[in-house]
Amino acid sequence: MNTNNIKSKSNLCQTLWYALALNGNFYENARNTQKNRKLALSIVILGAVSHTIGSGVILLINRATVFVFLISLLINAIAIIIGYYFWTYTIWKIGQWLKPIDPTYNDLLIPIGFAYAPQVLNFLTLIPLLGRPIELILAVWSLLAVIVAVRQGLDITTRRAAFICLIGWPLIQIAIGFVQVLEQDVVKWTN
């Protein structure tokens, strides 16, 4: 399939495939259409659900109470979705600061939402002893996808896109780590 026709022929599986493959043409052709906006948000939500599945299994293994289990799942899902909007906002603001950019914040939501495709595999973090390494691999994969999305979306060099994305990425990772530590503390307090 020609990647120029992705917009008209894509479905969720094809979109995930092109996003996971870091296809530059795919990210460049991700225009602000209602269909692509829904696909991008669906990918972010699937990533959040996948993350909560992994966390939920770990909470069940640790025998969390029903209340802690439900609160933790809700916090995990919300944290991923808020992280998506926050990271997109930091990329947009830094892009404006470094170079007057044409795309609006809303224009960046679609390609960056597609770049969250590796997070759909986050349920794999429930594999014993491999959970944290898998989580880090998926985080780096998402970072690389966001760099490609920003490079194509802002029409800038890879180096500049990497710089822009790397400023917000540690903040997102710290926030995710904070949520995980908070979850562990809540489980300890209730047991």
84, 115, 135, 143, 154 from 119: Cα distances, Å: 11, 9, 9, 11, 23
Give the CA angle between residues 139, 126, 82 to the nearest 5°: 45
User: What average pLDDT does this structure show over 42-67?
Assistant: 84
Provide the pLDDT for residue 6.
44
Assessment of whether the complete model's pTM goes beyond 0.75: yes
Residues 150-176, buried b or exposed e (16+ Cβ, 10 A)? bbbbbebeeebbbebbeebbeebeebb
pLDDT at 144 over 90: yes
